[in-house]
Structures are given as structure tokens and as C-alpha cells.
Amino acid sequence: MAKTKDIFDTLITSVNWKIGKFNMLPIFFGTVMALVDIFMMSSVKMIHQGTMPGWWGVPLAVGIYALEPLIFLKALNHEGMVVTNLVWNLMSDIIVTLQGIFIFGESIKGLRWLGIGMSLVSLCLMAYTD
């Protein structure tokens, strides 16, 4: 399948995403996809808490999450599926966890913080290019 180039590809390729030996473009896409996760999961959490009615909250969450494949497809024009998926998962884990702690008042203790730290180290390793 041929890659199509559109305005988003033009904007993306106009930026130098390298910082030393680190390619920040997968981190950018992972962050954008993780932000979609945040909005979707926030909607679901608010439905669960009773602060958002399910009759419009569920369609909202599904609609927001439907953006994910479009962003993933765009990311595949610039990076492989393996790196894109791993970075997205790591960013989502970190950002959604922080959202749960700081927005919804949930807690995390002990070695679980080490797990979050290891996720950050993993992101650095995934961005590193030789």
C-alpha cells in the first residue's frame, strides 16, 4: 500500500524530531494517542462515578476512541508498528496513571512507582536510535 502524503505529513516532516540520538516523533505520536486514551477513559470513569450520564457518555467515549486508528495509521507513515504500539502503550500507562492519581484521587504505592519509573526508562530506550 502506497503512503499518501497530506498536510499532516508535511507538517510532521517539517520538524526536526531528533534530539541527539533520540527520535522524539514516536514519543509525539504516543503522547497524542495517550491523550485520546485520557479523554475516553475520563468519560468512562465519570460514567462509573455517576457524574456523566451513560446515555451520552458511552457514545462520546466510543467516538473519541474511534480517533485512535486514524492517528495510529498516520504514525505508521513515520515509524513501524512495533515501536509505535510500544510507545503508545507506555505513554498511555504513564499518563492515565497520573490522571487517576491527580484528577480522580486514586493512589499508587510502593513498588508500583518503580514500575512507572521503568516505563519512563523504556520510553527513553524506544526513542534512542543508533
**pLDDT greater than 70 at residue 63:** yes
> CA torsion 18→24→25→31, rounded to 10°?
-160
Q: Which alpha helices (DSSP H) does 1-130 contain, by range? A: 7-13, 25-49, 54-65, 67-76, 81-102, 111-127
Each domain of the chain, given as residue ranges in start order, spans 20-127
DSSP state string for 7-31: HHHHHHHTS--EETTEE-HHHHHHH
Residue 70 has pLDDT above 90, yes or no: yes
Contacts (Cβ under 8 Å, ≥6 apart) of 12:
25, 78
What was the pLDDT predicted at 12? 92
Which of 8-12, 39-43, 106-110 has the least mean pLDDT? 8-12
Q: pLDDT value at position 6?
A: 85
Using pLDDT thresholds of 50, 70 and 90, give the confidence band for residue 130: confident
Confidence band, pLDDT 50/70/90 cuts, at residue 43? very high
Q: What is the pLDDT of residue 4?
A: 67
Question: Contact at 8 Å (CB) between 36 and 71?
Answer: yes
**Confidence at residue 5, expressed as pLDDT on a 0 to 100 scale:** 80
Distance in angstroms (rounded) separating the CA atoms of residues 70 and 101: 29
What pTM was computed for the model?
0.87
Mean pLDDT of 65-81: 94
Predicted local confidence at residue 65, as pLDDT: 96
Ramachandran assignment for 105, one of left (phi > 0), alpha (psi -120 to 50 degrees), beta (any other): left
pLDDT at 106 (0 to 100): 96
